[in-house]
Amino acid sequence: MAGKAQRNKPQRAPKVHRAVVTRTVDDFEAAFWPDERPVDNAVVMTMGALHEGHAALIRAARKQVGQEGRVAVTVFVNPLQFGPAEDLERYPRSLDEDVKLAEENGADVVFAPSVDEVYPNGRPQVRLSAGPMGERFEGATRPGHFDGVLTVVAKLLHITDPDFAFFGEKDAQQLAIIQRMVADLDFDVEVVGVPTAREEDGLARSSRNRYLSADEREQALALSKALFAGRDAAAQGPKAVREAASAVLDAAEGINLDYLALVDPHDFSEAADDFQGAAVLAVAATVGSTRLIDNVHVICR
């Protein structure tokens, strides 16, 4: 039983980690670099609508820099990476919930700038080009998408100046292109890929899943099932991987397939039939009106 002194002591609320929310570059810098102390720091770049997949990125960032280090989460729906017919306006925006999730998972600062703050001179005339790697697969369906991604990632790397930048492996082509940009253009940052977070039934977590009806969500499971079937066939080589994954998709209903591809993760070129080693089996499809992507690592023998 608690003694009198203890009973009368005002109860302290449990310590809650709070993230500072900043809207301008100046405020971000003041919050992220409060003093000259050199500590490890990391950034997780997002377009908001945060879910468990982002939470895993933020936790990985916190783990990397330790309790002394700093973790920033950027929340910015980048117009540059949306095509004219894409879902820029429809893209979910939920900053209050995003801040809560970010701080619960260890973020110190959330940077949620306006479009004018990021592009004060209007749409940038000079942009980064993802080159041939950005023209295949996602890039073929979404021309200019990766140029828009690289341009904003480069800007956010300059603004946040992190030691580490964390990106999800779910966007495998994006991750490969960002890694390539950092290597090819000598960015002083370590890019870390974090494995895809999945629902219990295998569906890859995505901000876009919220658009799926119950039936569409069921149909969407064919994507991860196809990838797992392909991965299970890897011992028989690339051809068997493609055939096993295609068989699942061919039998599926409600899937409008964009591509299924086995690629070399270094440059996202199609893996030849005699390819051996680590590859990525990637799929993109529209289910209802929602475009989904997913991928798995495959070791081909």
Residues that bind ligand PAF (CB under 6 A): 45-47, 78, 81, 149, 152-153, 171, 174
Closest CA to 72 of 114, 37, 27, 116: 27
Closest CA to 248 of 235, 262, 229: 229
Q: Is 51 a catalytic residue?
A: no
**Minimum distance, C-beta of residue 301 to ligand PAF, in the bound complex (Å):** 32
Identity at 295, one-letter amino acid code: N
Spell out where 196-268 has E strands.
255-264
Which of 22/78 has CB closer to ligand PAF?
Answer: 78
**Minimum distance, C-beta of residue 261 to ligand PAF, in the bound complex (Å):** 19
Written as six digits, the tokens of 1 are 């039983």
Q: Cα 108 to the chain's mean position, in Å?
A: 19
Q: Dihedral angle at the C-alpha atoms of 265, 268, 271, 276, nearest 10 degrees? A: -20
User: For residues 166 and 191, what is the distance between their CA atoms, to the nearest angstrom?
Assistant: 6
DSSP 8-class letter at 70: E
Which of 127/239 has CB closer to ligand PAF?
Answer: 127
Which of 149/296 has CB closer to ligand PAF?
Answer: 149
Sort strands 277-287 and 255-264 into parallel, antiparallel or unpaired.
antiparallel
Which of 169/171 has CB closer to ligand PAF?
Answer: 171
Which of 152/203 has CB closer to ligand PAF?
Answer: 152
Q: 10 Å Cβ neighbour count for 57?
A: 27
**Minimum distance, C-beta of residue 40 to ligand PAF, in the bound complex (Å):** 21
Q: Which of these is catalytic: 17, 51, 54, 145?
A: 54
Task: Specify the residue for token string 């039934």.
Answer: 201
Active site residues: 54
